[in-house]
Structure 1
Amino acid sequence: MAKWMIYGANGYSARLAVQAAKERGFQPVLAGRNREKVETIAQQTGLEARVFSLDNTADIITNLRDIKAVIHCAGPFSATAAPMMEACLQNGTHYADITGEIPVFEHGKTLHERARENNVVLCPGVGFDVIPTDCIAACLKEALPDATELNLAFNAGGTLSPGTAKTSVEILAGGIKVRRNGELVTVPRTWNIRDIDYGRGPRTSAVIPWGDVSTAAWTTGIKNIAVYIPAPGSRLALKATSLATPLLKLKPVQQFLKKRIEKSIPGPTAEQRSARKTLLWGEVINASGQRVEARLQTANGYDVTVAGILAAGEMLANYQGEGGYFTPSQLFGPKIIESLPGSGTIEIR
């Protein structure tokens, strides 16, 4: 297998992936910006370490000189994905990441032709964001090819990692996004609140700015897309939280919240992850009102992300296909989620 790299190896999900990689006999190169943390993990695992920032494209390329694929795990991806993508394009290195940030997916799409010309794969979102939902979207599109509307939802629960929590602050500050008539639009937190049965009875659910409003459009061509999760509390509580959204746009507020997160959120334990499976749901509707529904159960989102990192590293280190921008279901196939540990089958009804 050619060399592949985990960049941001000291992050929560990346550390789990490094350990899992060692257990499977993989030898990814570990990299990141924090010398002490990256080199400590490398010493503990016996893996190669490289320390470099993403401030200079030439420096990134130097460190990618013999790397066939990078799995980028250093957020916030709104700041780090573009420079890594650019270096990969110039160096001929395949790129994947574990982002869920809509602007990163949208940026990747703009690089599709360059990636094809340079025979480089760009595939953001090879974690829980967005492998399971992207696979559901692809399977639903196959089941109802003339669908004009796609709705996705998941019920995860559980504890966030520090990186996910900090990224969530930035995502929510950007507003709730859905896709309408092919365009990304911002809607209130209370937009189209509905009851969704994830498999254990109806739950009041509200929209979130999840990556599928970008990726599922690329996967399916459907022009109306929204993603939901169970709503915390009542509709009145949702209205109250939506009033606080403008405050999240203020940099001092974001900085305060991120510092609190660093001090107070360690990330879920193995026991917590094992105890919390994820339930996913989706539906497509066509112009005549015909409707098809899907359900899926997977492992905890962080465990799905770890499996996605390893799957992407293994595939891209051996990749011989064409370059371009891909969603996970396009790169791995629409049933890839069913092969990941802890996942069931996508049930279409």
Structure 2
Amino acid sequence: MNEHASPEPTSWMIYGAYGYTGELIAREAVKRGLRPVLAGRSRAKVEPLARELGLAMQIFGLDDAAQLATELQGQALVLHCAGPFSATAAPMMQACLEARAHYLDITGEIAVFEQAQALNLRAREAGVVICPGVGFDVIPTDCVAAALKAALPDATYLALGFDSRSSFSPGTAKTSVEGLAQGGKVRRDGKIVSVPLAYQVRRIDFGAGEKLAMTIPWGDVSTAYHTTGIANIEVFIPGSAGMVRGARLANLVRPLLGLAWVQKWLKARISKTVVGPDDTKRADQGTFVWGEARNARGERKVARLHTANVYSLTITGALAVVEHLLQARPSAGAYTPAKLLGAELVTRLPGSGTLRIE
């Protein structure tokens, strides 16, 4: 293991490599013969993993912009896995632009996707790709959106959703806590608008029978628009009547949920009590993905797909995009996953079935 070893011609980095998902990606990368540099702010956490996997490491935080860009020199790309992305994505994107390194991450946060799109011109000028959301958030739903757009080119409304039985990792749980404080989000007439939690409720067959479902502020509210141009977008997950009531009651206390001390307390509790699913659970926890497109004439197309567990798909999806960028030379700019690799990306990932459109 060499800290700050001379980078290989296709050297790339996993930042946040010791988090739940970052470590899983690092281990799978090594199994594939890839040699990422492992990085993060904690030497005590990065060093044991780098030593075990025989990989180079770098230790740095995200607070010093000048240092950050220097740390990325020589890297072809950075796969950013250190949340909360609401705080960490912007400085890493800026550093990647300065270092002329491609930027990937595994976020599902709407604000991060919008930040990325706003950097499209700068990414083109720097000759790099910026593509957040290369995990379960948002590869499957983004590919479904692209497929539905192809099937119904004049669609004016798009609904997406998924039914997953997967438990949360600590990072995902913390992001969810932030999301509760921010309320719901949908896209109306091309613009992202704030709405109450559980704003829309309907019954949906995600692939395992019809279930009650409610809207959530998922990343596709941003990304699906940039993938398809469809101006009205909502995202749903299944929820019992009790869950819907709880979400709507949460609207009453949202100002409290946004207080810094409340967020700090909730996240501390998550750090102590939440662990991500192990290998056995991931193997048993597949996901149903669904989408519906409608046009002004009332014509309707529905898409369904079954994928691997959300974290298993994040591992293989992120590495599929990494390998693509290491081997190919796409035009520079800001991308969504389906824009970068096409609607068929998800069906090429292990555990994915056929994407069916009815």
Pairwise TM-score range, normalised by the shorter structure:
over 0.9
Task: Quote the offset at 1:117 in angstroms.
Answer: 1.4
Cα distance in 2 for partners of 1:251, 1:174 equals: 13
1:54 alignment counterpart: 62
Q: Could you tell me how far 1:103 is from its partner in structure 2?
A: 0.4
Does the 8 Å contact 1:209/1:227 carry over to 2? yes
| Helix, strand or coil at the partner of 1:262 | helix
Rounded Cα–Cα distance in structure 1 between residues aligned with 2:190 and 2:223: 12
Is 1:213 matched with 2:210?
no
Q: How does 1:220-299 map to 2 (within 5 A)?
A: 220-234=228-242, 235-299=244-308
Aligned-partner Cα distance in 2 for 1:177–1:321: 31
Q: Percent identity?
A: 53
Take 2:352 and 2:255, find their aligned partners in 1: how far apart are those partners? 38
The TM-score with structure 2 as length reference comes to: 0.95
Instruction: Return the match for 2:190 from 167, 182, 197.
Output: 182
Superposed CA deviations along residues 95-145 of structure 1, whole A, max 9, x for unmatched, are 010000000001111100111111110000000000000000000000000
Kept in 2, the 8 Å contact 1:98–1:126? The answer is yes
The aligned runs of 1:42-121 (5 Å cut-off) are: 42-121=50-129
Give the C-alpha shift of residue 243 in structure 1. Answer: 2.7
Match of 1:329 in 2: 338
CA distance in 2, matches of 1:237, 1:64: 44
For 1:207, the aligned partner's letter is T
Distance 2:225 2:151 in 1: 16
* 1:260-319 CA-partner distances (Å, limit 9, x unpaired): 000001111111111110001000000011000000000000001111221122122233
Q: Which amino acid aligns with 1:282?
A: G
Cα distance in 2 for residues equivalent to 1:343 and 1:74? 26
| Match status 1:22 vs 2:30 | yes
Q: How many pairs are equivalent?
A: 349
AA aligned to 1:302 is Y
The 1:145/1:298 distance shift into structure 2, 3 A limit, reads same
CA deviation vs aligned residue, 1:210-248 (integer Å, no higher than 9, x gap): 000000000000110000001143343443333333321
Q: Where does the alignment leave 5 or more consecutive residues of structure 2 unmatched? A: 1-8
Instruction: Note if contact 1:71-1:312 (Cα within 8 Å) is conserved in structure 2.
Output: no
**More displaced stretch, 225-234 vs 68-77:** 225-234
CA distance in 1, matches of 2:201, 2:252: 16
Instruction: Determine which of 306, 309, 333 is the counterpart of 2:315.
Output: 306
Superposed CA RMSD: 1.1
CA contact (8 A) 2:166 2:310 kept: no
TM-score w.r.t. length of structure 1: 0.98
Which residue is 2:3 aligned to?
none
CA distance in 1, matches of 2:277, 2:245: 30
Offset of residue 161 of structure 1: 0.4
Letter of the 1:75 counterpart: G
* Code of the aligned partner of 1:284: A
Q: Which residue of 2 aligns with 1:124?
A: 132
Q: Which runs of 4+ in 1 moved over 2 A?
A: 232-247
Whether 2:60 is the aligned partner of 1:13: answer no
Q: Could you tell me how far 1:251 is from its partner in structure 2? A: 1.2
Q: 2: distance between equivalents of 1:211 and 1:242?
A: 20
